Chains A and B, each alone.
Chain A
Amino acid sequence: MARVVVDVMLKPEILDPQGQAVQRALPRLGFEGIADVRQGKRFELEVEGPVDQAALDRIHKMAETFLANTVIEDFTVKVEA
């Protein structure tokens, strides 16, 4: 079965307080040098059948209507080798 990964990230202009909280915690834990953190979501889809253009189109539609809220989020679709 092929795996398709959908990554969903808040749009750059949207404030991400969770990412900020992670970034602020890093120096306290001894991890220096990280200027910014943005937190997103990763969906791993195990696809039945071939991952052809039609399947990718369906996944794109799925990401657009459900996995991401395109008012606030961007997404990318990648086929994993």
Chain B
Amino acid sequence: MTTRIGVVTFPGTLDDRDSLRAVRLAGAEPVSLWHRDKDLHQVDAVVLAGGFSYGDYLRAGAISRFSPVMETIIEQAKAGMPVLGICNGFQVLTEAHLLPGAMLRNNHLHFICREQRLRVENAETAWTGDYEQGQEIAVPLKNMDGRYVADERTLDELEAEGRVAFRYLARGEAADGYGNPNGSLRDIAGITNEAGNVVGLMPHPEHAVEPLIGTGRTDGLPFFTSVLKKLVSA
């Protein structure tokens, strides 16, 4: 049986197509999920794609988090189903309290769109198994509300439990994709829940899965092959 990976479309989602494509390139069967449909159509994992769901009204992700499809996703995520939130999807996951902390306006107040270098800090989550621990990757980054914040205690907990999954690479030139792009505390680009099945990050692995487009690298593809392997071996 093929592995089915769902990608949710909310009103205002932008990157659902690229996410579906990344799923297909990784060798899984992409399944479109609609925000008003509670039914997950027998998918084995879910990607919450980037964009501006509900126009980022109130707070980014705040309204999407209460959509019918999220009810089922929250329930399934708690039961262990792999869920990846990219950019706006990450914001939805924090609003849903599946991941701790919150996302705020970039500290420089500008929309940012560039290639971003990251370090994979935890290669044991459902979505990072195909990376080496400490591997450095480059994927596109594009956001307005990308500044990750949490209280000191939560940050210490995340660090102690190895739940900082990705960190922005601070050294080097911004033009080369280095540096903390938005003021995220402790250079955090992405985190995981305790079980490692729910992962969220601001940068966009789904835009870096083919050599012809995006960064010209395929550094994002292992997200999708990782979860596929994880599901097949489960």
Interface on A for B, CB 8 Å cutoff?
A: 10, 13-15, 17-18, 21, 66-67, 69, 71-72
Contacts and interface: CB of A to CB of B under 8 A. Distances in A.
A73 to B, nearest CB: 9
B211 to A, nearest CB: 37
Contacts of A71: 94, 100-102, 150
Interface residues of B, number: 20
Interface of B: 58-59, 62, 66, 94-95, 100-102, 104-109, 147, 149-151, 183
Contacts of A17: 105-109, 183
Nearest to B183: A15
A69 B150 CA distance: 12
B104 A72 contact: yes
Contacts of A14: 104, 149
Contacts of A10: 104
B95 A69 contact: yes
A71 B148 CA distance: 12
Nearest to B65: A66
Nearest to A41: B58
Contacts of A21: 109
Given A14-B149, A15-B183, A69 B59 contact: yes
